[in-house]
Structure 1
Amino acid sequence: MKHHFSAPSRRAVLVGGLAATAGWGLATTASTAHAAQVPSQALTKYARRARESYAALQRYFYDPQTSFYLEEYPHTGGNPWSYVWPFSQAMIATQDMAGLPEIGKRYTDDVADRYTALEAYWNAETDPPGYDSYLRPPAGHGGDKFYDDNEWNALGFIQRHYMTSGGDAAALRRAAEIFDLVVFGWDTDPSHPCPGGVFWTQAPWSNDRNTVSNAPGAEVGLHLYLATKDDHYLDWSIRMYEWVRTYMLAPNGLYWDHVDLAGNIEKTQWSYNQGTMIGAGVLLHRATGEQKYLDHARDTAAKALAFLAENERYFDQPARFHAIFFANLLQLSAVEPHPSYRKAMEWYADQSYARFRDHTTGLYRFTGDNPVTLLEQSGMIRIEAMLGWHTSQYPRLT
């Protein structure tokens, strides 16, 4: 059943049409080439590593004829191009490269190229519209919509808005369209165990409601609230945040993964779930001024860092999850600095570089000789690039 919500005129203006993207054009490798001309001694250790990791991403995964990425390298069959979730992380990794001092502007064309290519996943034929899990025809066969996939894209659009001089109204409008889709995904059946929450996907084979489909949704809504002061976004964000706090918060102070319609809770504690709840808490503090939300974020950060450090649990989870975790830690540090946040991030980056980076190719091989995934390479680029940012830039992260 479709859900309909009244909206004030301010919101109607925000979600009104997008600027045309047809004139953006396709990027070339020029930005990477220009970036390489900057002397290495002018860059920090992490900026140099990010530049090298990004060059490897473009060399082994990127197709300049289509602007699409491979899902893995080497490609071993199946769909020729990546699903939208890996693409979103490569897109945000490119944005993080554009934030690097000294060389960031050299990636401007690459950022525009990512957003042009992203539209090949957009399905305007559904109500509400959103990004399919795979490329739409003619490039691909489309696919089910996942609410978390769409939320990552929305957060990417919001980061693009923050990183654009004067802001990017079209990016905010697309983020608002995606938020409408997320609200549509709210479970309205009060008879369900753990009633409420945004479902993970529209696919018929899953009825899970996840931390990862609610906490990033709250982040999207809170960014939109801070931009518009429209209470619609704040009210829904609080509902999503409180659903996670009520049903997914474990006795150890960290967050479980999801619950199904039989009431079974999947209790894995992934780092990105902790990160998105940290980020949502920080944003709620900024939106409302209430100290309790900052206290939640600080408490989750301390417990997550201790949990991941114990027996090096970091390496039991993928880099793509840690990139999201660390991005949100840096947002917390912008409001309430603590040396442990960056220290943990540097330790993970240095250990990953020493243990898993193939110095011949610049690719990160976390699984030995198995194919390198777009998600893992993008995750490490994000981590390295964020470590190269100035602390004053952290509020631009999403």
Structure 2
Amino acid sequence: MRHAVRLAVTTGLATLLAGSAGAVPAAAAGTWKDRATAAYRSLQEHLYVDPLYQENYPKQPADNPYSYLWPYREAVTAALSLHEAPGDSPVSRRDLAARFAGFDAYFSGTPGSAGYQSYVVPPLGTGGDLFYDDNAIVGLEFVRGYHATGDSRLIPHAVDALKAVERGWDNDPSRPCPGGEKWVESANNSFRAANVTGLGAQLAAHLYLIRHQRADLDFARRLFGWNQRCLRQSAGLYWNDISYDGVVNETLWTYNSGAMIASATLLYRATHDRSYLREAVAAARGALDYWTTGDRLYQQPAIFNAYLLNDLLLLSSEAPDARYRAVFERYAARLWSENRDAATGLFHFQASGGGAPDPANVPAQTLEQSAVVQIFAALAWSPRDHWRIA
């Protein structure tokens, strides 16, 4: 149930747009900042439950008192993304500190299985499974927080998350396409997944650039190489997973495209090997060619598209291309016009996580409301800050 959105069937958005590289026009950036602010205020009004968030608004009968870790992480990302957009912000440094402190509610220090669990641990909750992709994205958020604030106390938390991800590497040489990252720390796990493998590579590369430990770089390369070798469908597109018996799940998601674009960009920074940058550019081109065909981008979960946008903007800090922003401005404008409830300021999507609201009146979610804040805020960021956006 926690990851039900990942089971949805994909289809996606619009036409590739061209433009000239350069600074974001002030009026356009201001518009997106205003929209991000409005969406954030609605998030706080309807979904914030001090000190965390609830899953849905209105709250559903089966909901827990608090959200799972994944939505909470995205609410933190929304706050940081809006805080870092130029101009006055409704998110203070004190707010940010409180959001990052909230991650402690999900952390278990149990020896041998330490890491961020999927649900709040005692005393606020009962805890939950440890998902390796959750730990990768939480680690990435601590890295983003460090770059935004310069607070080195955030880095040990990112390292804790990376240690959990490292346990997810599959060491069984008898598997088809040996290696790769398992999804969940459980004897019931039966596959290796593109998402955690790409996101883990992104986190390890970031930490190498911060603490210069060769093991981080080696791990990032190993993860990146496995996705390229075992799950790459074509430039910029990655199948979702491969089972222990070799069956490939050929579902495509935008965030799998994004994680590998970001990983290649960071590996280029770490090694100065231009083949990584060429791979990132080719992946971005391939991803956009696919996701802007028909309605594919719009039908993807907004949270996955938020990842892809940030990852493309990260790449643009090394190889500028105005298409990245142009495509997502069009997508974001559609979200504002088709998915927003003007009465509440909340954004509603199909039960699958993408597209316009369905007749069943699916509740607004912390996960997707946070995604919209992230997308609008990213479009307001100054290009000079894109080097640390993902």
TM-score if structure 2 supplies the norm length? 0.88
User: Partner residue of 1:332?
Assistant: 315
* Aligned: 1:215 with 2:198: yes
* Aligned: 1:149 with 2:141: no
Of the three residues 343, 363, 367, the one matched with 1:375 is 367
Instruction: For 2:164, give the aligned amino acid.
Output: L
User: Partner residue of 2:385?
Assistant: 393
User: Partner residue of 1:70?
Assistant: 54
For residue 194 of structure 1, report the CA deviation from its aligned partner.
Answer: 1.4
For residue 126 of structure 1, report the CA deviation from its aligned partner.
Answer: 3.6
* Aligned: 1:60 with 2:46: yes
Alignment of 1:198-347 (within 5 A): 198-251=181-234, 254-347=237-330
Match of 1:125, SS state, is coil
| Conservation of the 8 A alpha-carbon contact between 2:81 and 2:374 | yes
For residue 152 of structure 1, report the CA deviation from its aligned partner.
Answer: 0.7
> Which string of whole-angstrom CA distances, capped at 9 and with x for unpartnered residues, describes residues 294-327 of structure 1?
1111111111111111111012210000000101
| Conservation of the 8 A alpha-carbon contact between 2:37 and 2:90 | no
Match of 1:250, SS state, is strand
In 2 relative to 1, CA 114–392 (structure 1 residues): closer, same or farther, beyond 3 Å? Answer: same
Instruction: For 1:200, give the aligned amino acid.
Output: W
Of the three residues 56, 62, 67, the one matched with 1:82 is 67
| Conservation of the 8 A alpha-carbon contact between 1:128 and 1:180 | no
| Inter-partner Cα distance in structure 1 for 2:299 and 2:272 | 36
| Conservation of the 8 A alpha-carbon contact between 2:70 and 2:118 | yes
For residue 101 of structure 1, report the CA deviation from its aligned partner.
Answer: 1.2
User: Partner residue of 1:3?
Assistant: none
In 2 relative to 1, CA 252–385 (structure 1 residues): closer, same or farther, beyond 3 Å? Answer: closer
For residue 43 of structure 1, report the CA deviation from its aligned partner.
Answer: 6.9
Instruction: For 1:159, give the aligned amino acid.
Output: R
In 2 relative to 1, CA 240–298 (structure 1 residues): closer, same or farther, beyond 3 Å? Answer: same
| Conservation of the 8 A alpha-carbon contact between 1:201 and 1:207 | no
| Conservation of the 8 A alpha-carbon contact between 1:97 and 1:107 | no
Alignment of 1:103-114 (within 5 A): 103-104=88-89, 106-114=91-99
For residue 352 of structure 1, report the CA deviation from its aligned partner.
Answer: 0.9
**Deviates most, 312-321 or 52-61:** 312-321
| Conservation of the 8 A alpha-carbon contact between 2:236 and 2:284 | no
Of the three residues 159, 164, 167, the one matched with 2:144 is 159
| Inter-partner Cα distance in structure 1 for 2:28 and 2:248 | 50
* Aligned: 1:192 with 2:160: no
For residue 203 of structure 1, report the CA deviation from its aligned partner.
Answer: 2.8
In 2 relative to 1, CA 265–43 (structure 1 residues): closer, same or farther, beyond 3 Å? Answer: closer
| Conservation of the 8 A alpha-carbon contact between 1:43 and 1:102 | no
For residue 118 of structure 1, report the CA deviation from its aligned partner.
Answer: 1.3
Instruction: For 1:44, give the aligned amino acid.
Output: G
| Conservation of the 8 A alpha-carbon contact between 2:236 and 2:285 | no
| Inter-partner Cα distance in structure 2 for 1:156 and 1:310 | 31
**Deviates most, 41-50 or 268-277:** 41-50
* Aligned: 1:100 with 2:92: no
**Moved runs in structure 1, 4+ residues, more than 6 A?**
none
TM-score if structure 1 supplies the norm length? 0.87
| Conservation of the 8 A alpha-carbon contact between 2:172 and 2:179 | yes
> Which string of whole-angstrom CA distances, capped at 9 and with x for unpartnered residues, describes residues 57-79 of structure 1?
00010013xx1101111111221
| Inter-partner Cα distance in structure 2 for 1:105 and 1:62 | 15
For residue 358 of structure 1, report the CA deviation from its aligned partner.
Answer: 0.9
In 2 relative to 1, CA 391–80 (structure 1 residues): closer, same or farther, beyond 3 Å? Answer: same
Instruction: For 1:70, give the aligned amino acid.
Output: Q
Q: Which runs of 5+ in 2 are unaligned?
A: 1-26, 351-356
* Aligned: 1:49 with 2:35: yes
| Inter-partner Cα distance in structure 1 for 2:156 and 2:236 | 35
